[in-house]
Structure 1
């Protein structure tokens, strides 16, 4: 357990950031699952803007360990999945 006041504050901040990052990653994973398990292209296209928005938010605020390149890679993979529908 931290003894210094600043260390206690840093621990609180880290716990809060950890919870936010975990939530952001969970939302992104859930949205990806919806797209990957979609049976029609329309269903996947309906979820795509939501996922892209979540990825952009995560990348812009450096949340969940996402940077711009990682978000772009996710977007490319999603586009590939959606274009694979007949």
Structure 2
């Protein structure tokens, strides 16, 4: 009789743990905190630019800084992308 009670108790704890994990996964749709240097899109880590500028003609300029190096990514309105990296 004691075994049955123990097994039922262990089963209840396992079910509660699995239900908690399922709820936690559903709540993970929140945005990445703004203090992170990257954001999560799907299962991939995508760097977040340090500064972003949009010109009047639609050109987007993004700067990513890492230590002494700066990576500049310019996206033209026609879809062309130019990436430049300089290190001081």
Over alpha carbons, which structure has the higher Rg?
Answer: 2
Bigger fraction of residues in helix = 1
Greater relative contact order structure (CA < 8 Å, 6+ sep): 1
Q: TM (normalized to structure 2)? A: 0.36
Bigger fraction of residues in strand = 2
Q: TM (normalized to structure 1)? A: 0.37
